Amino acid sequence: MGGLGGTARRTWLVVSVVVGTCLSFLVLLVVGTYSAAASLAGSVEGAVGLAPGAVPAVYVSLVEKWGGLCPSLSPPLLAAQLYQESGWNPNAVSGADAEGIAQFIPGTWATDGFDADGDGKADVWDPGDAIPSAATYDCELAQDVKNVPGSNTDNMLAAYNAGAYAVIQFDGVPPYAETQDYVRRITTLAQSFTAPTSTLAPSQQAAGAIYFAQSKLGTPYLWGGTGTAADGGRFDCSGLTQAAYKSVGITLPRVANDQWNAGPHPTRSQLLPGDLVFFATDLSDPRTIHHVGIYVGGGYMIDAPHTGATIRFDPIDEADYIGATRVTQAGAQALPTDTPSS
């Protein structure tokens, strides 16, 4: 949530310069970087590979293999389902008794779970069985609704939520708010797990988020701080990024590793001002993210580093840099709101 582990982060020379110089430097960075990027804006359409670091490394091979089981499924889409269902927790249990990383209810597991890893047991708690079973179940549903008009992927997801009969009955995604929301969430979340094949479109809210963050330069850090009056207007790292995007109408989760999936992941060379930049103890596992800042261009971010420091500019090219997220309104809205317990 805050900057634990960031205590060794280097203090940049901004600490020693006057505020007016800081703000002038920031303006130049933002304007210059956006000017250079203006002709590069593109989309993520057509990309089907996993974004580096988006999926915990222990599950990458399973997601890549089984995410290509049928044309209506893809590794990013399967990853989005697993993240939505359990947050990559293989021991997750929901209030409806859904179990494991893929959140199968016992009745569905009894009919659709199988021993994919060949160890002699179909185990809902074993991702080596549960992930392939989830992909196989998806593809069976895609086959069940293959003659329904519209996107077979959307219809497959709708069938996963509401049942194939409902999709067939309504000739597409049923008019159920829960089902429509599920289809929207998964297809949007999939963008956060997709490796871009072209330059991502710039964020429309980035300038406002940066303006908020730069207005807090020099504010003392507070572990758990969200900028409230009770906090004395102080922030920790994710409290600052949450407040910056709240100022432009986007609601982010409270902690840094939950903010990671609020949009697609630009590469280091694709970074633009306003992107969130993240740092982790294990670069192969986004669940270990411990710090976040707001990129401002030129290799620097505004962040709330750690206890005893103030909100300041820091370089992003540190050994624990795991990647970045281009926050979108849809991406933030698609994030899971309830996580099953262990």
Here the tokens at position 21 are: 């110089």
Q: In 3-state terms, what secondary structure has residue 102?
A: coil
Calculate what percentage of the chain has a pLDDT beyond 70. Answer: 85
Report the pLDDT value the prediction gives residue 96, as an integer from 0 to 100: 83
User: pTM for the whole thing?
Assistant: 0.84
Mean pLDDT, rounded, for 98-113: 96
Mean pLDDT, rounded, for 178-200: 93
Mean pLDDT, rounded, for 296-324: 97
Q: 18-34: per-residue pLDDT in tens? A: 334 444 445 444 544 44
Of 3-7, 114-118, 334-338, the poorest mean pLDDT is in 3-7
How far, CA to CA in Å, does 312 sit from each of 135, 172, 248, 315?
A: 45, 51, 21, 10
Q: Which of 231, 229, 263 is nearest to 245 (CA)?
A: 263
Contacts of 342 (CB under 8 A, 6+ apart): 89, 91, 92, 93
What is the C-alpha separation between 155 and 145, in angstroms, rounded? 7
| For residue 5, pLDDT beyond 60 | no
Here the tokens at position 192 are: 């956060």
Report the pLDDT value the prediction gives residue 342, as an integer from 0 to 100: 65
Q: 39-67: per-residue pLDDT in tens? A: 333 333 344 799 999 999 999 999 999 99
Across the chain, mean pLDDT equals 88
Q: In 3-state terms, what secondary structure has residue 206?
A: helix
Strands (DSSP E) contained in the chain are: 276-280, 289-297, 300-303, 312-315, 321-325
| For residue 307, pLDDT beyond 60 | yes
Q: Which of 80, 276, 83 is nearest to 189 (CA)?
A: 80
| For residue 153, pLDDT beyond 50 | yes
Of 22-36, 37-51, 119-133, 287-301, the poorest mean pLDDT is in 22-36
Confidence of residue 305 (pLDDT cuts 50, 70, 90): very high
Confidence of residue 122 (pLDDT cuts 50, 70, 90): very high
* DSSP symbol at 335: S
Report the pLDDT value the prediction gives residue 26, as an integer from 0 to 100: 53
Here the tokens at position 54 are: 């988006």
Contacts of 147 (CB under 8 A, 6+ apart): none
Report the pLDDT value the prediction gives residue 68, as an integer from 0 to 100: 96
Q: Which H helix or E strand runs over 189?
A: helix 177-189
Q: 192-226: per-residue pLDDT in tens? A: 999 987 778 888 899 999 999 999 999 999 999 99
Radius of gyration of the chain (CA): 21
Amino acid at 95: G
Measure the CA dihedral 190/277/1/24, to 10°. Answer: -140
Report the pLDDT value the prediction gives residue 198, as an integer from 0 to 100: 76
Of 216-220, 256-260, 337-341, the poorest mean pLDDT is in 337-341
